[in-house]
Amino acid sequence: MQKLKLILGLIAGFIVTGLSIFFLEDLGRGQFEQYQNVPSDPELLDAFMMSLPSCAFIALLLAHIVGVFVGTLTAGLISGWSRYIPAIVIGVFMSSFSVINALEISHPLWYTITDTAFMISVAFIANRMYLKLFYKG
């Protein structure tokens, strides 16, 4: 039964992570006029991304941090696990997605490194907060 709760917690955690990131990124895009002219041609997309101001990448980074935090917290609450399994799974997957995204679309190097490193760190911080505040084991 406990493994089923872990699986359900991870599924819910990934859903919450994805939805949180989607909505926060969309909210961030509304703050920058440059996003009105996103090219549909993949070859032009790299140049477009590199032309964005640093604050656009900071907003993107914050969306990822909040999404991973809320998703990991959700996974911990639903699974009820005292171990760091939800944090490891969500953190590693999201960090992997950051690397894949960076390989497919050009981003500034500082953003790629920071985004990749923060995904696992934030997942562990969220799991630690879950254990201190909510775990009743």
State pLDDT tens for residues 7-20.
999 999 999 999 99
Asked if residue 131 has pLDDT above 80, the reply is yes
- In single-letter form, the type of residue at position 112 comes to T
Residue-wise pLDDT tens digits, 91-130? 999 999 999 999 998 899 999 999 999 999 999 999 999 9
Asked if residue 135 has pLDDT above 90, the reply is no
Cβ atoms within 10 A of the Cβ of 91, count?
A: 24
Host domain of residue 121 = 2-133
Q: What's residue 63's pLDDT? A: 96
Nearest to 63 by CA among 93, 26, 92: 26
Asked if residue 36 has pLDDT above 80, the reply is no
* Distance (Å, whole) CA 7 – CA 50: 38
- Which position has the higher pLDDT, 53 or 38? 53
- In single-letter form, the type of residue at position 68 comes to V
Report H helices in the chain. 2-29, 42-51, 54-79, 85-104, 109-133
pTM over 0.75: yes
Residue-wise pLDDT tens digits, 51-80? 888 999 999 999 999 999 999 999 999 999
pLDDT band at 42 (very low <50, low <70, confident <90, very high): confident
Q: How many domains does the chain have?
A: 1
